[in-house]
Structure 1
Amino acid sequence: MTDHHPTETPAPAPASDTVPASDTAPASDTERLARAALTRILEPGDEQAGHALRTHGATRLLALLRDPREPPLPGTGPRRLAGWRHRARTTAPEADLDRITRLGGRFLVPGDPDWPTQLDDLGATRPIGLWIRGPAPLRTWALRSVALVGARACTPYGAHTAAELATGLSRHGWVVVSGAAYGIDGAAHRGALAAGGATAAVLASGVDTPYPRGHAGLLDRIGHQGLLIGELPPGSHPTPSRFILRNRVIAALTRGTVVVEARHRSGSLVTARAATRLGRHTMGVPGPVTSALSAGVHELLRDGATLVTDADEVVELVGAIGDLAPARRGPVLPRDLLDPAAAQVLEALPVHPPAPTAEIARRAGTGPDEALARLYELHALGHAERDGDGWRLTNTGKPVSNVRRGGP
Structure 2
Amino acid sequence: MTGEGGAPEAVRLARARLTRIVEPGWEVTGRWLREFGAVETVRRIDEADEAEVVVGGDETLPLPGVRPERWAGLLARAREAPAPARDLERAQERGARFVCPGDAEWPGQLDDLGDVRPVGLWVRGGPSLRMWALRSVAVVGARACTDYGVRMGASLGAGLAERGWVVVSGGAYGVDAAAHRGALGATGATVAVLACGVDRVYPRGHTQLIDRVAEQGLVVGELPPGAHPTPSRFIQRNRVIAALTRGTVVVEAAYRSGALGTARWAQRLCRHAMGVPGPVTSSVSAGVHELLRKEGVLVTDAAEVVELVGEMGELAPQRRGPVLPRDLLPPDTARVLAALPAHGARSVAEIGREAGAGADDTIGRLYELHSLGFVERHGDDWQLTRQAIRSVFSDGGPS
TM over 0.5: yes
Deviations, residues 61-94 of structure 1 (Å, cap 9, x unaligned): 1111111248512221122111211222232211
| 8 Å Cα contact 2:193/2:237 also seen in 1 | yes
Q: Which residue of 1 aligns with 2:46?
A: 66
Q: Which residue of 1 aligns with 2:55?
A: none
**Equivalent residue of 1:397, what SS?**
helix
Question: How far did 1:395 drift?
Answer: 2.0
Among 92, 97, 116, the residue aligned to 1:106: 97
Gaps of 5+ in 2: 53-59, 392-399
Q: Write the letter of the residue equivalent to 2:46.
A: R
Q: Which residue of 1 aligns with 2:78?
A: 88
**Equivalent residue of 1:323, what SS?**
coil
Deviations, residues 91-123 of structure 1 (Å, cap 9, x unaligned): 221111001111122110101001001101111
**Equivalent residue of 1:149, what SS?**
strand
Q: Which residue of 2 aligns with 1:19?
A: none
Deviations, residues 118-137 of structure 1 (Å, cap 9, x unaligned): 10111111111100011111
Q: Distance in 2 between matches of 1:398 and 1:197?
A: 49
Question: How far did 1:270 drift?
Answer: 0.9
Provide the TM-score with structure 1 as the length reference.
Answer: 0.89
Deviations, residues 186-235 of structure 1 (Å, cap 9, x unaligned): 11111111111111010000011110011111000000000000000111
| More divergent stretch after superposition (381-390 vs 326-335) | 381-390
Would you identify which runs of 4 or more consecutive aligned residues in structure 1 move more than 6 Å? none
Q: Which residue of 1 aligns with 2:109?
A: 118
Q: Which residue of 1 aligns with 2:9?
A: 29
Q: Write the letter of the residue equivalent to 1:241.
A: S
Q: Which residue of 1 aligns with 2:307?
A: 316
Question: How far did 1:353 drift?
Answer: 2.9
Among 122, 139, 150, the residue aligned to 1:159: 150
Q: Which residue of 2 aligns with 1:77?
A: 67
Gaps of 5+ in 1: 1-21, 401-408
Q: CA RMSD in A?
A: 1.7
Q: Which residue of 2 aligns with 1:7?
A: none
Deviations, residues 285-341 of structure 1 (Å, cap 9, x unaligned): 111111111111111112211111111111111111111222221111110111110
Q: Which residue of 2 aligns with 1:47?
A: 27
Q: Which residue of 2 aligns with 1:204?
A: 195
Taking only the aligned residue pairs, the percentage that are identical comes to: 63
Question: How far did 1:399 drift?
Answer: 9.5
Among 170, 183, 207, the residue aligned to 1:192: 183
Q: Distance in 1 between matches of 2:197 and 2:47?
A: 27
Q: Distance in 1 between matches of 2:245 and 2:293?
A: 23
Q: Which residue of 2 aligns with 1:371?
A: 362
Q: How many corresponding residue pairs?
A: 377
Q: Write the letter of the residue equivalent to 1:54.
A: R
Residue 101 of structure 2 corresponds to residue 149 of structure 1 = no
Q: Distance in 2 between matches of 1:334 and 1:324?
A: 28
Residue 262 of structure 2 corresponds to residue 271 of structure 1 = yes
Q: Write the letter of the residue equivalent to 1:150.
A: G
Q: Which residue of 2 aligns with 1:14?
A: none
Q: Distance in 1 between matches of 2:101 and 2:65?
A: 25
| 8 Å Cα contact 1:308/1:314 also seen in 2 | yes
Question: How far did 1:351 drift?
Answer: 4.0
Among 291, 300, 325, the residue aligned to 2:316: 325
Q: Which residue of 1 aligns with 2:213?
A: 222
Q: Which residue of 1 aligns with 2:295?
A: 304
**Equivalent residue of 1:205, what SS?**
coil
Q: Which residue of 2 aligns with 1:396?
A: 387
Q: Write the letter of the residue equivalent to 2:92.
A: T
